[in-house]
Amino acid sequence: MGLADSDKQREFSRAEVARHDNGESLWVVRGNQVFDLTQFHTDHPGGSDALMQFAGQDITEAMRDGAIHRHTTQAYRVLKDFYIGEVTADDRLAYAMADGGVDEMEEAEEEAFLDLRKPLFAQMWNSRFTKAFYLREVHRARHLPQPAVFFANPVLETLTRTPWWVIPVYWTPIIVTMLVLGAAYEPPNVMLVGFVFGLVSWTLTEYSIHRFVFHYDENLPEGTLAQVAHFLLHGVHHYLPMDPLRLVMPPVLSTFLGLILLGLSCCIFTAGMVHAVMSGLATGYVLYDECHYWLHHGSSPHEYLSKLKTYHLRHHYNDFKAGFGITSDFWDNVFGTRFAAPE
């Protein structure tokens, strides 16, 4: 179904659109179609300010302007999710076609993947997607004004949702307990060394898990079961990158991964040092998950934080095969997985 086929289609004059020119109500026109970006501007990959300067205006040519940022087909696909109506007949303009004589919004027409109005897990479980089709579609971001529904069962659905504040509430007592228990084996200076080692080691752990576990994309076997596992582990985050209740790892999963790391640490370190290193790793994880949430929903005038946000969102919206660092791009530089320079 095309945009103009919506049963709820409405018409707006350009003067009416122009009145929606602030963060409380932000509308734009693109190609004689009207979009309400009120719920999106704070999540805009280029930052809210980049979008706010066009509030209430026509952004057709701005989206094509390479001096600002030439938007990809994916950007038009995201824009479609915020369509609310058409410009009135008296205010309609004739636009030049983009290079190649096509309209970018038409190129963004999508193939059938998942119906976001229905529970997602059952659709994935009953799907028969090819691997190539699944990987292409799951990495094309979509946006919803509310969290997506995974399960029709309310109990199962609750288990898939994790607010950002759950992570420090759950892990802080565990971290403190490990430090207290470790202090019975090692003096404070040794515990401090182990803690800092674990904290720093988390950055490599973060990078490795993101690159080799979450993005086990090209090596993913054919078949629905493999796709369901991929979707639950990380695919849904790329499909719905701004879902606020699926931006941090559920405690059940993070505890499972933590036990694996604990087992490995027990094979390497002595008692006391195990506690110190694991508490450092756990602290690094908490900072990582909170940082990850902020990169999707936060904003800051600080230059470094703004660059870090743009860097991560580029991973979601431009190239999911690069930029695996979350809290830093250090390991991307070491292993050569930074984004390619724009042409």
State mean pLDDT over 165-194.
96
- Domain assignment present for 168: yes
Q: What is the domain count for the chain?
A: 2
Read out DSSP for 77-134? HHHHTTEEEEE-GGG----PPPTTS--HHHHT-------TTS-HHHHHHT----HHHH
Among the residues of the chain, which ranges form H helices?
14-18, 48-52, 73-80, 104-107, 120-125, 131-138, 154-159, 166-182, 188-208, 224-230, 236-239, 251-268, 273-297, 303-317, 330-335
**Same-domain check for residues 36 and 179:** no
Query: Is residue 253 in some structural domain?
Result: yes
Residues paired with 202 in a beta bridge: none
Point out the least confidently predicted range of 10-14, 75-79, 184-188, 261-265. 75-79
Whether 92 and 142 map to the same domain: the answer is no
Same domain flag for 93 and 186: no
Q: Determine, yes or no, domain membership for 341.
A: no
Q: Is residue 152 part of a domain?
A: yes
Q: In this structure, which amino acid lies at residue 135?
A: L
Q: Phi and psi of 217, rounded to 5°? A: -75, -60
Q: What pLDDT digit, counting tens, does each position of 55-91 carry?
A: 999 998 888 876 656 677 778 878 888 899 999 999 9
The pLDDT value recorded for residue 70 is: 63
Shared domain for 175 and 286, answered yes or no, is yes
Residues 201, 64 share a domain: no
Surface-to-core class of residue 304, CB atoms within 10 Å of its CB (0-12 exposed, 13-18 middle, 19+ buried): exposed
| pLDDT above 90 for 105 | no
Which of 53, 88, 107 is the last residue in one of the domains? 107
156 occurs within a structural domain: yes
Q: Going by C-beta distance under 8 Å and a sequence separation of 6 or more, which residues neighbour residue 211?
A: 324, 337
Q: Is the pLDDT of residue 101 over 70?
A: no
Q: Which among 65, 88, 107 is the end of a domain?
A: 107
Pairwise CA distance, residues 295 & 306, whole Å: 9
Say if residue 242 is in the same domain as residue 313: yes
pLDDT of residue 2: 45
The β-bridge partners of 86 are: 11, 33
- The boundaries of the domain holding residue 165 are 137-335
Is residue 141 domain-resident? yes
Distance of alpha carbon 96 from alpha carbon 224, whole angstroms: 43
- Position with higher pLDDT, 289 vs 111: 289
- Kindly state the greatest CA–CA separation across the chain: 79
Q: Average pLDDT, stretch 322-340?
A: 95
Same-domain check for residues 235 and 278: yes
Q: Is 115 among the domain residues?
A: no
Task: State pLDDT tens for residues 1-44.
Answer: 344 444 457 999 999 999 999 989 999 999 899 999 988 877 77
The predicted pLDDT at position 7 comes to 47
Shared domain for 291 and 250, answered yes or no, is yes
Query: Are 306 and 180 within one domain?
Result: yes
Q: Which residues contact 133 (CB under 8 A, 6 or more apart)?
A: 111
pLDDT at 342: 59
pLDDT for residue 46 is more than 90: no
In the prediction, which pLDDT does 69 show?
Answer: 62
Q: How does residue 100 score in pLDDT terms, banded at 50, 70 and 90?
A: low
Question: Could you give the percent of the chain with pLDDT greater than 90?
Answer: 68
Q: To which H or E segment does residue 29 belong?
A: strand 25-30
Same domain, 99 and 156: no
Q: Quote the tokens at residue 325.
A: 């660092």
pLDDT > 90? residue 289: yes
103 and 142 part of one domain: no
- Is 45 in the same domain as 171? no
Query: What value does the mean pLDDT of the chain take?
Result: 89
Specify burial of residue 130 (Cβ count, 10 A radius: 0-12, 13-18, 19+).
exposed
Length of the chain: 343
Q: Which residues contact 314 (CB under 8 A, 6 or more apart)?
A: 45, 323, 339
For the chain, what percent of residues have pLDDT higher than 70?
Answer: 92
Which CATH number does the domain housing residue 56 bear? 3.10.120.10
Distance between CA atoms of residues 57 and 278, nearest Å:
52
Q: Is residue 9 part of a domain?
A: yes
User: What pLDDT digit, counting tens, does each position of 112-141 carry?
Assistant: 799 988 999 999 999 999 999 999 999 988
Out of 107, 129, 162, pick the residue that ends a domain. 107
